[in-house]
Structure 1
Amino acid sequence: MDIIYRLRVIFWFLVVLIWGIYLYQYISEDLESSKNQKIILNKSTKTESIILQKKNDTTYYQPQTVIITTQIYRENTEGKKEDKNERMLVKSEGISLPQEIYKEERIESEIEKNIGIKKAPKIPDGFNFKETRHFYIYAEKDIDINEIESKLETLHGEMMLDLIAFSPWTRDEKVSIYLASTAQKYQEISKRPPWSGGAANLREKKIYLYKSDEWFGILAHELTHIYFDSFFGDYDKSPLWLSEGMAVYIQVERGGSHPLWLKENLSKIKEGSGYNLSDLTRIKTLEDADDKSVKLWYAESYSLVFFLLKIQRGDNFYQFCKRIKEGQKISTALFHAYGKPYTTLAALESVWRMDVRTGNITGMRE
């Protein structure tokens, strides 16, 4: 019995000793870390962010498969180039671009940069006028202006489901809509050439168009540029793929316009066609591109924006755009806004293309 008792005493002594050593080491480490910890009061810290350098034409990489621009110049009657901040909505007759693809002009003078619509512009001859909560509507007299008002305000409300965070100014400022009955009257009030299907002045927040089968989709597309692009400051600062992708998204999802070329090119993307996202997002102009390339580029931009909107939780998409606006690289903005697995453009492309094929994430199926 004495031996067993002694063994028990030795066993518990060792247990207590080991426990004491462990506790001593733990307390020592804790005390040591507290000595090294510094508390700094009233000191500011700087957060480092990645800023994109401004690219110039000599250093900018452009894929050879697509050369695109949105900048055009029109000659006036005196042969001088005009430089107003306008977008041209192009008809398909006589040009290579599809009817739904709109050439843009985003050059404005220093004076125009400070223009804001405070009161309704003058009413053109032969037009009725109505001021609504968000619009100044100018409709030719044979058009039911009350019906137009209802459609416009309904469209605005639906668009704000996606764009309210990007255009808070719509509470105080209105957009002017000029709707003619014929192409001839449209050309008369807008001073646009016969090949133009519509026009929008982004800085002055004016849209000119005429009644056609496509007018409502065109309106939704161009309103998106006025609402969404303004978030990035100057209207030429928004990334082209993001701007046009959002415009086509609103045109389809809110404007109810489903152009045939879009469906055809989404099918091609589903089969594996299209541009690498690194190329797609680098393109900043749409010039001299053939019809097929332009349509495919627009369809892919739409598909990518659709994906980013559908996978968001909370304000992921807004945070992504905000970081782009601040100058961050797309991959950096993407990771900080959406988190894993969207750590790089390549990772985004992998998941996006899988969803294009299966629709498992967004539910988008043909």
Structure 2
Amino acid sequence: MDIIKQLQTVFWFLVGILLISPALQYFNIPVGTTVRKLLLLPPKEAKLERNEINEEDINEAFQRGIAQSVDVEQQKKDIKKRINILEDMAKTYNEQPYTPDLPFVFDSKPVTRKVKWIGPPKGFFTGRGYNFMIYRENQPVTPKVVTVLDKIHGNLILDLLPFSMAYKPNRILIMLFGEPQSYQNFTQRPAWSGASCDIESDTLYVIENNKFYPLSVHELTHLYFDGFFLPAKTPLWLSEGMAVYMQSKTSEGKPPWLENSLQRFKKGEYMPFEKFVEINSLKDFTADQTQMWYAQAYSMVSYLMHMRSKNEYYVFCVNLKNNMPDYQALYRAYGLPFTRFEVLEDVWAHDMSKGASSAQGGGNE
């Protein structure tokens, strides 16, 4: 009799094992998580991996045939009042030639409400991905285009954590232009700007060229990082510094203009921090001053992110979002001795002179 009871126990135990897996799947409960909880084991640490994006993938996805002539309709005039883009203020207001690969100033404006997307202009094909609504000039939106865009977006979301968790558009509209002239006609911005974004409508405008990848990352950073601060306005140095920092991650090395500026910082050629963080416009800057300003914004953001941990940097940004004075936001996030930006400047300048990676865009991710 005892043997029969033991066999019955074993039988129902095996039946339970066979039934528990489909039952957990039905309720969307991971089997591994359940087993770890039953055995009182700690949760398995999540490992987030970035997507590999190489130049061949981008070239293949955005390969274009012979350009077709098409008249691209200009946007309504009021779009000029609400578009946030990267402008080369040095070229606009100065006779000096602009530096290749130098980003363009982000004209940030307070966003009070979201606006609807525009319809696809004449000559644009449409497509849809998980993260994007895509308008593409003269060419179909292929699955490879969607895949590359989603990979770029996925990597940026990981790199921007936790900011990307606080602000996420339902879907982003991206307009891909095949010709610089059509981009200029539509956005009313100079063709050499390469890309622009509109936070109010969660829209990106990008020319398909060899700068497509870094410019897309730069613009997406503005959408997510500046979106995190809404309805407050992101400080210009922080907005551009973060965008250039994320853009720099799209290649192995730094662009020449940035590397040259970092070397000049070691010699003491930089703007005092107290003055630097108050800059709201580069309209009167020369080309060289604009280049140095962008490099300093990049270096400051990198230093704040790697000086201790990204948690302090996040707290600093939250403090600014809550309209805390910048010096107080700095102290509340990083503690002593950082009671003023002058103190941060002294520490940054010392590390820069010693070649510390945290001050030059390096550090542990």
Corresponding residue for residue 101 of structure 1 = 103
Q: Distance in 1 between matches of 2:166 and 2:138?
A: 30
Q: Distance in 2 between matches of 1:335 and 1:130?
A: 47
Q: Quick one: which amino acid aligns to residue 157 of structure 2?
A: M
Written as runs of structure 1 = structure 2, the 5 A alignment for 1:74-223 is: 82-90=80-88, 96=96, 97-99=98-100, 100-107=102-109, 113-117=112-116, 121-142=118-139, 145-168=142-165, 171-192=168-189, 196-223=193-220
Corresponding residue for residue 63 of structure 1 = none
More helix by share: 2
Corresponding residue for residue 30 of structure 1 = none
Q: Distance in 1 between matches of 2:320 and 2:288?
A: 29
Corresponding residue for residue 69 of structure 1 = none
Deviation per CA, 1:15-54: give whole Å up to 9, x if none: xxxxxxxxxxxxxxxxxxxxxxxxxxxxxxxxxxxxxxxx
Deviation per CA, 1:234-263: give whole Å up to 9, x if none: 47x111111110010011024668432111
What secondary structure is seen at the aligned counterpart in 2 of 1:307?
helix
Q: Distance in 2 between matches of 1:78 and 1:139?
A: 19
Q: Deviation of residue 106 (structure 1)?
A: 4.0
Q: Deviation of residue 154 (structure 1)?
A: 2.0
Contact 1:158 1:254 in 2 (8 A): no
Kindly tell me: are residues 322 and 178 of structure 1, through their superposed partners in 2, closer, same or farther at Cα, counting changes over 3 Å? Answer: same
Kindly tell me: are residues 104 and 307 of structure 1, through their superposed partners in 2, closer, same or farther at Cα, counting changes over 3 Å? Answer: closer
Q: Distance in 1 between matches of 2:236 and 2:149?
A: 26
Corresponding residue for residue 233 of structure 1 = 230
Q: Distance in 1 between matches of 2:319 and 2:161?
A: 17
Kindly tell me: are residues 82 and 139 of structure 1, through their superposed partners in 2, closer, same or farther at Cα, counting changes over 3 Å? Answer: closer
What secondary structure is seen at the aligned counterpart in 2 of 1:164?
coil
Q: Deviation of residue 126 (structure 1)?
A: 3.3
What secondary structure is seen at the aligned counterpart in 1 of 2:241?
helix
Corresponding residue for residue 280 of structure 2 = 284
Q: Distance in 2 between matches of 1:346 and 1:186?
A: 42
Deviation per CA, 1:271-317: give whole Å up to 9, x if none: 22111111111111111210000100100110010011112335111
Number of aligned pairs? 285
Give the one of 294, 299, 302 matched to 1:303: 299
What secondary structure is seen at the aligned counterpart in 2 of 1:113?
coil
Contact 1:90 1:198 in 2 (8 A): no
Q: Distance in 2 between matches of 1:251 and 1:315?
A: 21
Corresponding residue for residue 331 of structure 1 = 327
What TM-score, normalized to structure 1? 0.67
Q: Deviation of residue 223 (structure 1)?
A: 1.3
Q: Deviation of residue 194 (structure 1)?
A: 5.1
Cα-Cα RMSD: 3.4
Q: Quick one: which amino acid aligns to residue 87 of structure 1?
A: I
When structure 1 is superposed on structure 2, of 89-98 and 347-356 the one drifting more is 89-98
Q: Distance in 2 between matches of 1:247 and 1:85?
A: 17
Corresponding residue for residue 13 of structure 2 = none
Contact 2:352 2:360 in 1 (8 A): yes
Corresponding residue for residue 258 of structure 2 = 262
What secondary structure is seen at the aligned counterpart in 1 of 2:160?
helix
Q: Quick one: which amino acid aligns to residue 82 of structure 2?
A: K
Corresponding residue for residue 309 of structure 2 = 313
Contact 1:271 1:357 in 2 (8 A): yes
Q: Deviation of residue 326 (structure 1)?
A: 1.8
Contact 1:91 1:196 in 2 (8 A): no
When structure 1 is superposed on structure 2, of 195-204 and 345-354 the one drifting more is 195-204
Kindly tell me: are residues 234 and 141 of structure 1, through their superposed partners in 2, closer, same or farther at Cα, counting changes over 3 Å? Answer: same
Kindly tell me: are residues 202 and 123 of structure 1, through their superposed partners in 2, closer, same or farther at Cα, counting changes over 3 Å? Answer: same
Deviation per CA, 1:126-163: give whole Å up to 9, x if none: 33322222221222344764333233222222222342
Q: Distance in 2 between matches of 1:226 and 1:87?
A: 11
When structure 1 is superposed on structure 2, of 315-324 and 176-185 the one drifting more is 176-185
Q: Percent identity?
A: 29
Q: Quick one: which amino acid aligns to residue 113 of structure 2?
A: N
Deviation per CA, 1:45-104: give whole Å up to 9, x if none: xxxxxxxxxxxxxxxxxxxxxxxxxxxxxxx99999952233244498776444533244
Q: Distance in 1 between matches of 2:169 and 2:205?
A: 21
